[in-house]
Structure 1
Amino acid sequence: MVWGGISLEGRTNLHVLVNGTLTAIRYRDEILRPIVRPYAGAVGPGFLLVQDHPRPHVARVCRQFLDDEGIDAIDWPSRYPDLNPIEHAWDVMYWCIRRRQVAPQTVQELTDALIQVWEEIPQDTIHRLIRSMPRHCRECIQARGGHTHY
């Protein structure tokens, strides 16, 4: 499992979660505190955390941490299409890994490949993904939550 953050100005480092599943405590201690908090500070006023609805993201301990740090997060409905542009970045990474001449053979090789691909995604690509979201939202509304071409 990996975690990364994107914005119009840049991206966080890719965080690879090893040894077990993501819990709320791990999310707070491995992602929110060391990655999101400094990134939010670097972006400055107006930073808005967009995350979907898995339990660790919405757990009380994580919501409290974000409140204590003054980090605003979108309240994402639990039964709503995922309109987060990071999902499209994951698709870009998936296809970059799939197109490699030699597929990663070990967890370490996959980790190294993911980090390399993440760092090589042009910022222009991330910018386009984020800027496409109003159009994506309009299509989703027109489809009444049904299938879109995205």
Structure 2
Amino acid sequence: SFHHMLIRQHDYSARICTQFMVAENIPVLAWPVYSPDMSPIEHVWDALDQRIRQRVPVPANIQQLRTAIEEEWTNIPQATINNLINSMRRRCVALREANGGHTRY
């Protein structure tokens, strides 16, 4: 599905990004692999997925999907991104209190 395609791309990009940061001695926050809901980008992928599924008509081929992704990515409200950024402190506190387990996020 489209969502799984985005997750695979994100996982690959995250791996490359982490390798770069480690190579450059940039501190990296340990992120439990079993708490993907804590990653703000997952919420952006979900919003993008929902916006594309609500399009009329739904994209029918790769070119239409590419166009839809570009348009809907641009149309995600900045307030949505700001809310995710501003929630990170709460998310990290909740994750610490849950000892790295599941949180409500």
TM-score normalized with structure 2 length: 0.68
3-state SS, counterpart of residue 17 of structure 2: helix
The answer to whether 1:81 aligns with 2:41 is no
C-alpha separation in 1, matches of 2:89 and 2:18? 25
C-alpha separation in 2, matches of 1:114 and 1:94? 9
C-alpha separation in 2, matches of 1:75 and 1:144? 15
Q: Which runs of 5+ in 2 are unaligned?
A: none
The answer to whether 1:57 aligns with 2:20 is no
- Where does 1:1-150 land on structure 2 (aligned, <5 Å)? 51=14, 54=15, 56-59=16-19, 62-63=20-21, 67=24, 72=26, 74-77=28-31, 79=33, 81-82=35-36, 83-150=38-105
Q: Is the 8 A contact 2:40 2:84 kept in 1?
A: yes
Shift of 1:141: 2.3
Give the strand-richer structure, 1 or 2: 1
Aligned length in residues: 97
Supply the RMSD in Å over aligned alpha carbons: 3.0
Structure with higher RCO (Cα < 8 A, 6+ apart): 2
Percent sequence identity over aligned pairs? 34
C-alpha separation in 2, matches of 1:126 and 1:93? 12
Q: Structure 1 counterpart of 2:85, which letter?
A: I
Q: Which runs of 5+ in 1 are unaligned?
A: 3-16, 28-50
Change (3 A) 1:135 1:91: same
Change (3 A) 1:63 1:135: closer
TM-score normalized with structure 1 length: 0.51
Give the helix-richer structure, 1 or 2: 2
